[in-house]
Structure 1
Amino acid sequence: MTDDTTRGLAPLREQILSSSPQGFDRTLGLHYLEASADAITAEFVVTPALLQPWGITHGGVYCSVIESVASLSGQLWLIESGRTGHVVGVNNNTDFLRAVGDGRMTARSTPVHRGRSQQLWLVEITAESGKTIARGQVRLQNIED
């Protein structure tokens, strides 16, 4: 088995865990705390910019967080398994379980299936109280170089 550096896993993990999120993750305020090929943990704070008109978190925020965390999880696994390429989302199914208007949220990914052509990841978002706020599954297509 090759080490993280030869496969490009270490640089990707370092980029994910950097204190400066990129792209839409920056807009969401998403910060990654742990990253491996088996799970990612991230957190974000619900701010007024993430609320819908009735003062609760917009459902699209949860969908986006779930998509980001699952996609990065799948990409790390793809690289760790010795393959080259990238993953793309083909389905995001998110359930909204509790309405919240503020607070720190934690998202954690768990693999359901990791196969030759597709992956399925479960991501749960919990509040500081430990209660599950939203959960979703994202199916990813492995696109090999």
Structure 2
Amino acid sequence: MPEASGDRVVVRWTVGPEHLQPVGLLHGGVHCAVVETAASVGAALWLGDRGSVVGVSNSTDFFRAAREGTALTATAAPLHRGRSQQVWAVEVVDEHGRRVARGQVRLQNLDGADRAG
């Protein structure tokens, strides 16, 4: 991750053969996983030692196909950071700056008493 803070997270990767669905396009589940990971990292860094976070909702839309070799960048930023929940938006663009996907993740802030143990 080239950048990770409680205010912004940037993830870069290149689509490989292991990321493809049978027709040769990037699988949407990869976008969903990257979107939730970027949002979760930012949310956890913002919450810090006050607790931990878990995703409760992930809505990701796909706008443009990506194929093997495409360089992608996901940028996550908070829309809301509250006492009990956070909402983060994540934009995924290709190497030409074209939007490939956009996701929104709602995360629950857990304090120490809420953590699984």
Q: Which category of TM-score, normalised to the shorter sequence, fits these structures?
A: over 0.9
Task: Give the TM-score of the pair, scaled to structure 2.
Answer: 0.93
Please report the TM-score for the alignment, with normalisation by the length of structure 1.
Answer: 0.75
1:125 aligns with 2:92: yes
Matched to 1:41, the amino acid is V
Amino acid corresponding to residue 75 of structure 2 in structure 1: R
Which of 1 and 2 has higher RCO (CA within 8 Å, sep 6+)? Answer: 2
Q: After the TM superposition, which parts of structure 1 deviate over 3 Å for at least 4 consecutive aligned residues?
A: none
| Partner AA of 1:89 in structure 2 | G
Aligned match of 1:100 in 66, 78, 81?
Answer: 66
Match of 2:115 in 1: none
- Which residue of structure 2 lines up, in the alignment, with residue 25 of structure 1? none
In the alignment, is residue 40 of structure 1 matched against residue 9 of structure 2? yes
Cα RMSD after superposing both structures: 0.7
Partners of 1:115 and 1:73 in 2: CA distance: 14
Q: For this pair of structures, how many residues does the alignment match?
A: 111
Q: Which runs of 5+ in 2 are unaligned?
A: 113-117
* Identical-residue share of aligned pairs (%): 51
> How far apart are residue 110 of structure 1 and its match?
1.1
Structure 1: distance between partners of 2:38 and 2:63: 19
- Give the SS at the match of 1:129: coil
Report the Cα distance in structure 1 between the residues aligned to 2:10 and 2:78, rounded to whole angstroms: 13
2:33 and 2:86 map into 1 onto residues whose CA distance is 18
**Structure 2 counterpart of 1:133, one-letter code:** V
**Structure-2 separation of matches of 1:67 and 1:49:** 19
Question: Larger helix proportion, structure 1 or 2?
Answer: 1
Could you tell me how far apart the structure 1 residues matched to 2:39 and 2:87 are? 8
CA positional deviation for 1:63: 0.1
